[in-house]
Amino acid sequence: MGQKPHYQLFIDGEWVDGADGQVMTSENPATGEGWATFACAAPSDVDRAIGAAQRVLNDPAWRDMTQTQRGKLLYRLADLIEENAQAIGRIETTDSGKLLAETAMQSAYVGDYYRYYAGLADKIEGAVLPIDKPDMHVFTRREPIGVVVAIVPWNAQMFLTATKLGPALAAGCSVVLKASEVAPAPMLEFARLIEEAGFPPGVVSVITGDADNCAIPLTRHPDVDRIAFTGGPETARHVVRNSAENFAVTTLELGGKSPILVFDDADLDGAANGLIAGNFGASGQSCVAGSRGLIHRPIFEELMARIEEKVQGVRVGDPLDSDTQIGPLCTAAQVAKIEATLDAARVGGARIRFGGAKIDRPGNYMAPTLVECPDADIETLKTEMFGPVMSLLPFDTEEEAIALANATPYGLGSGVFTQNVARAHRVSKRLKAGICWVNTYRAVSPIAPFGGYDQSGYGREAGIDAVLDYTRTKTTWISTSEQPMANPFVMR
C-alpha cells in the first residue's frame, strides 16, 4: 500500500502546513481506515489568510480588475471544475463515503453555478436617483462587501461552496473558505483549480481545522465583513455570537426536517420515487431530506407497499462501485445516533417495516429503513436523522396535513404530491418552508434561490439576487451648481 496523501492549507497562494504542526487523519467511511492526513490551521494561520484577503482588496491586480475580467476568471474556473469532476468526485467519495456517481455528477454540475455568476459579474449596476434637491447629481454604485468567510460542511461541499464563492467572486470580494474538518480533501483539491484559474494570490484561501484554533478565530476576526455558513443550528448559534465581535453580515443555511405530503389523488409511483429520493438519496445525508412522509390515510398501506417493493432491490455497498445505490455514512457517530433514535422510536410505538440496523460489514453502513409512525411524537419524526431513514405518518384531511407539516422548528424543504393543481397551489402557499417541490423532490438550479425559515436559517443562496448580498451600496452626491456651498449657519 502506498503512502497516504497529505493535504496542506492553501493560504495567500501558497501551500503550507499549519503553524503549530497539528495534523488530523481522514477516515474512509467505506472501510473505517485512515486514508489521508491534512494540516489544521492555527490562529496565526487564520490571521494570515484574513490578512491576505484584506490586502488583496486594495491590490490593483484584483481591485482594478474589471467586472468582465472577473467573470472570465469564473468561466475558466467552471471549465476546470468540469474537466476535473471525475477526479474530485473520486476523492470526495473516498473521503466522505458519498456515491461516486453523485459526487462526480455534482462536481460537474456546479460548473453551471460559476458560469451563472460569471455572467452576472458585469450586470452589477448602480442607479442615478431622481433626487428632490436642485443642482444635485446623485447616484449609487455597488461595491464589494469585503472579506468573506465561507464555511461549508462535508456533505455537499462542491455545491455549497459554489453558492457562496460564485457570487462573492463575481462581486469582487475576497474569500477565506473553511472546509469541514470531517472529509476536507475535496476542498483542498479544489483550491488547486482556483490557483490554476488565475485568481490573484489572496483572493481565495482554503483552510480547515478545529473549532478553537480555526473556526472561532475565523468567525470573530475583526477584519471579516461577511459570513456565509452552512451547517447545524448549534454551531450556527456560536457563529452568530462570534459575529457580534465584528458585525459581519451573516447568512445561515442550516438543517431541516422536511415534510413530503402525499394526497390520495397523487400518482403513487411518482410519490414513492419522491419519498425514496428525499430519504435515501445521498444515503439520507442531505439538509433537505424529506424525512417526514405525511400520507393520506386511504393510500397509506398501498404507498408503503410500493416503497418496500422498490427498496428491496437497493444495492448497498462500495461507493466507488457504479452499481452501488446507497453507500456508507460519513462517520460512525452518525450510525450510533440513528440507532439510538430508532430505539427511542420503537419504545414510542413505531414499527420498523424494514431495515433498522447497522449492516454487518466494515465501514459505517446503515440499512435503508422505513418507520411506520402511529403519531407525531415518534422520535424519528422530530430528529434530523442524516441517514437513510424514512418515517411515514398518516393524515385524514388537508388541514391536518398542513398542521403536521408545519409542526416543526425547521423550515427548509417541503414536498407535495397531488394531481389537483388547485390543491398544489393552496397547500404549497401555506407550508412554512423556503422551498416547496410539487410532484418532484431535491431539484436545484443556480437560478433558483435556496434557503429556509426559522431554525433552518436565514438569507438565500443562488438566484439572481445572491450576488447583491456580497455588495454594499454607496451613494454619491455631487453638486452641479456654479455657486459655492452656502454658509450652513445662514438659514434661508
The beta-strand segments (E) located in 79-237 are 127-129, 136-144, 147-151, 174-179, 204-208, 226-230
Q: Which of 378, 403, 366 is nearest to 259 (CA)?
A: 403
Dihedral angle, C-alpha 9, 10, 14, 19, nearest 10 °: -30
Write down how long the chain is.
492
* Residue where the block lists cell 397551489: 425
Q: How many beta carbons lie within 10 A of that of residue 345, not counting itself?
A: 26
The answer to whether residue 125 is catalytic is: no
Torsional class of 62: left (φ above 0), alpha (ψ -120 to 50), beta (otherwise): alpha
Q: Which residues pair with 178 in a beta bridge?
A: 151, 207
Buried b (16+ CB within 10 A) or exposed e, 390-413: bbbbbbeebeebbebbbebebbbb
CA distance readout (Å), 83 to 108, 192, 354: 8, 13, 41
> Under a CB-based contact definition with an 8 Å cutoff, are residues 38 and 6 in contact?
yes
The amino acid sitting at 288 is: V
Q: What is the 8-class DSSP label of residue 214?
A: I
- Please classify residue 143 by burial: count the beta carbons closer than 10 Å to its beta carbon, then call 0-12 exposed, 13-18 middle and 19+ buried: middle
Q: Which of 102, 189, 253, 461 is catalytic?
A: 253
* Contact residues for 305 (Cβ-Cβ < 8 A; gap 6+): none
Grid coordinates representing 150?
465561507
Q: Where in the sequence numbering do the catalytic residues fall?
A: 253
